[in-house]
């Protein structure tokens, strides 16, 4: 079964907050035995105390903590003590993977650096995550990375202040990079019998994820600016509209066939035939003129869900703007939930991090 693919694999997680633990969660969900080592001197992972306003103050763990730590065995250990270090080293001798996200130099001081651990276990895969690289000591909280990598500057509405993305997305992107590196290292070990050190940084992961925004500058010499939810290269794409019931939806007209269909559904042949909107390049250029005209037509529809059904029937990409209670009320979202327990034994629900299907 897919969820037991890594059964027998042993992972020691010397990581905290989000990115490193998200890597450990990936292996835990696929059947690996993941032992999460937390700092006893600080009462464990700091995210245990990052509680939502609705959570009880005396809980030992938070909803934030559980988002990337369910399915693991946790140990509170003082790695500065001889007994604590020996306890963790005993686990590492039998482990396949060690995940760390220490500040530069800290792993060596604690005796948890790669050179030392491969002496204990030559087949170990040592997966290291840093903020800005091995030689940069800056503290690397996600919003700092969003700022330094351009995401913060690009997020928000024109003429207004930058806006942080509502999820620590740089952490998630870096976790994916590290997971990919670990999987390559596992393949290499299967071929050679040797372990490896895999390392990446949040900064590198962030820049690698700028995708077309990066090449708009590097190749085309166009420095992207804040556009809200709009797309710098496509229109209407990311533009928000309201139906008469006050509900919002978003359009993603990616090809000319979508544009023509949209004109048919909204019964606006004059827009389809207007030279200002004849091609995507023209629509991007004349976006400020186009959007109010589309809003006038969309606003005439009584209910958002009826219009979305009409769009779906005609293969026009569009989506409802939903809050999270509405998101998790959707049948498709329900299939991505996992039922588990918090540390007090209370039943909780989390979102799966492994959402691919593997079949023969």
Cα 324 to the center of its chain, rounded Å: 16
Q: What confidence tens digit (pLDDT) does each residue in 135-154 have?
A: 898 888 899 999 999 999 99
pLDDT tens-digit series, residues 114-128: 999 999 999 999 999
Question: 3-state class of 76 per DSSP?
Answer: strand
Helices first, then strands: H and E counts in the chain: 17, 11
Instruction: Specify the pLDDT at position 330.
Output: 92
Confidence bin at 22 (pLDDT 50/70/90): very high
Contact 297, 268 (CB under 8 A): yes
For residue 338, give the nearest of 1, 5, 25, 35 by alpha carbon: 25
DSSP per position, 248-276: EEEEE--SHHHHHHHHHHHT-HHHHT-GG
Residues with Cβ within 8 Å of 106's Cβ and at least 6 positions away in sequence, in order, are: none
Is pLDDT at 231 greater than 60 in this prediction? yes
Residue 236: asked if its preceding bond is cis (omega within 30°), the reply is: yes
Catalytic residue IDs: 171
Q: What digits encode the pLDDT tens for the residues 289-303?
A: 999 999 999 999 999
How high is the mean pLDDT of the chain? 93
Q: Can you tell me the mean pLDDT for 92-110? A: 94
Q: What is the pLDDT of residues 53-85, one digit of tens each?
A: 998 888 888 999 999 999 999 999 999 999 999
Q: Please, what are the domains in the chain?
A: 7-209 (3.40.50.10540), 237-321 (3.30.1540.10)
Which of 169-173, 215-219, 227-231 is least confident? 227-231
């Amino acid at each position: 079964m897919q969820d037991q693919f890594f059964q027998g694999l042993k992972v020691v997680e010397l990581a905290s907050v989000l990115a490193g633990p998200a890597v450990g969660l990936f292996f835990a969900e696929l059947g690996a035995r993941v032992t999460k080592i937390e700092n006893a001197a600080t009462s464990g992972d700091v995210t245990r105390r990052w509680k939502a306003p609705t959570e009880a103050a005396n809980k030992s763990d938070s909803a934030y903590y559980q988002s990337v730590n369910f399915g693991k065995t946790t140990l509170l250990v003082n790695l500065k003590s001889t007994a604590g270090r020996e306890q963790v080293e005993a686990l590492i001798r039998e482990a396949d993977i060690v995940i760390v996200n220490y500040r530069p130099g800290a792993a060596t001081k604690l005796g948890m650096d790669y050179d030392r651990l491969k002496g204990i276990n030559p087949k170990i895969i040592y997966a290291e995550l840093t903020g800005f690289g091995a030689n940069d000591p800056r503290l690397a909280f996600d919003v700092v990375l969003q700022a330094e990598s351009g995401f913060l500057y690009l997020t928000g509405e024109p003429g207004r202040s930058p806006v942080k993305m509502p999820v620590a997305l740089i952490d998630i992107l870096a976790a994916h990079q590290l997971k990919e590196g670990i999987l390559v290292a596992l393949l290499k070990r299967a071929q050679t019998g040797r372990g490896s050190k895999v390392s990446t940084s949040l900064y590198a992961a962030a820049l690698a994820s700028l995708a077309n925004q990066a090449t708009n500058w590097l190749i085309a010499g166009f420095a992207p600016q804040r556009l809200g939810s709009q797309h710098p290269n496509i229109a209407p794409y990311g533009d928000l509209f309201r139906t008469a019931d006050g509900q919002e939806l978003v359009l993603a007209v990616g090809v000319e066939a979508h544009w023509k269909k949209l004109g048919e559904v909204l019964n606006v042949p004059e827009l389809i035939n207007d030279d200002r909107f004849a091609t995507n390049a023209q629509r991007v250029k004349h976006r400020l003129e186009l959007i109010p005209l589309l809003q006038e037509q969309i606003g005439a529809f009584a209910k958002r869900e009826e219009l979305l059904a009409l769009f779906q029937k005609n293969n026009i990409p569009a989506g409802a703007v939903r809050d999270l209670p509405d998101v998790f009320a959707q049948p498709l979202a329900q299939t991505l939930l996992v039922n588990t327990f918090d540390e007090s034994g209370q039943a909780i629900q989390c979102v799966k991090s492994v959402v691919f299907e593997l079949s023969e």
